Amino acid sequence: MQKSLYIDASKCTGCLQCELACSFENYGMFNPSRSRIKVFNFEHAGRKVPYTCTQCADAWCMNACPVDAIRIDAVTGAKVVHEAVCVGCKVCTIACPFGTINYVAETGKVQKCDLCGGDPACATACPTGAITYVDADWTGFDRMRAWAGKTDTAPRASA
């Protein structure tokens, strides 16, 4: 059973522990600018919302990559950037409709959430349970897909 990150924004306090944990896990430093998860601050609404790659089933970033640098991890299902292959062309950043893959000028490569190999640091660090790592079925995506599959837009014969 593959797992997914589940984000309950109503539980987020904006503590940024997720960003710090992510940057430490991936770069060995506490630097939110290096984090692969971001907490958006909706100042006027007084809300904080964590946001990261959703590991799309049909990943636009992966499909757009001209050098096959983004591949599926067979264990976690994460779409992982292979830095040795990435040429830094940024086509994936343009293809992602959610803006969750980013170019890193220092490396000349792109970065995105890779689920930390199956133990996401952001979920472990979240003190409020706003970010959890759950069975993919629990997120409800499969139920939404099933309902969407039931919709039939074909014209009906009238009785």
109-111/102-104 β-pairing: antiparallel
* pLDDT confidence of residue 12: 96
Helix (H, G, I), strand (E, B), or coil: what is residue 19?
A: helix
- Cα–Cα distance for residue pair 21/36, rounded to 1 Å: 10
**100-139: burial string, b at 16+ Cβ within 10 Å, e else:** bbbeeeeeebbbbbbbbeeebbbbebbeeebbbbeebeeb
Q: What is the pTM of this model?
A: 0.82
Mean pLDDT value across residues 9-30 = 97
The DSSP call for residue 93 is H
Closest CA to 132 of 3, 7, 2, 48: 7
List, in sequence order, every beta strand (DSSP E) within the chain: 3-7, 38-42, 47-51, 70-72, 79-81, 102-104, 109-111, 131-135
Mean pLDDT value across residues 23-34 = 95
What is the average pLDDT score of the chain?
Answer: 90
Are 50 and 10 within 8 A, CB to CB? no
Closest CA to 120 of 17, 13, 11: 17
Q: What is the pLDDT of residues 55-81, one digit of tens each?
A: 988 899 999 999 999 999 999 999 999
* pLDDT confidence of residue 124: 97
For residue 18, pLDDT over 90 is answered with yes
Helix (H, G, I), strand (E, B), or coil: what is residue 34?
A: helix
For residue 159, pLDDT over 60 is answered with no
Q: How many CB atoms lie within 10 A of CB 33?
A: 10
Q: Which two tokens stand for residue 77?
A: 């299902």
Q: What is the pLDDT of residues 85-99, one digit of tens each?
A: 999 999 999 999 999
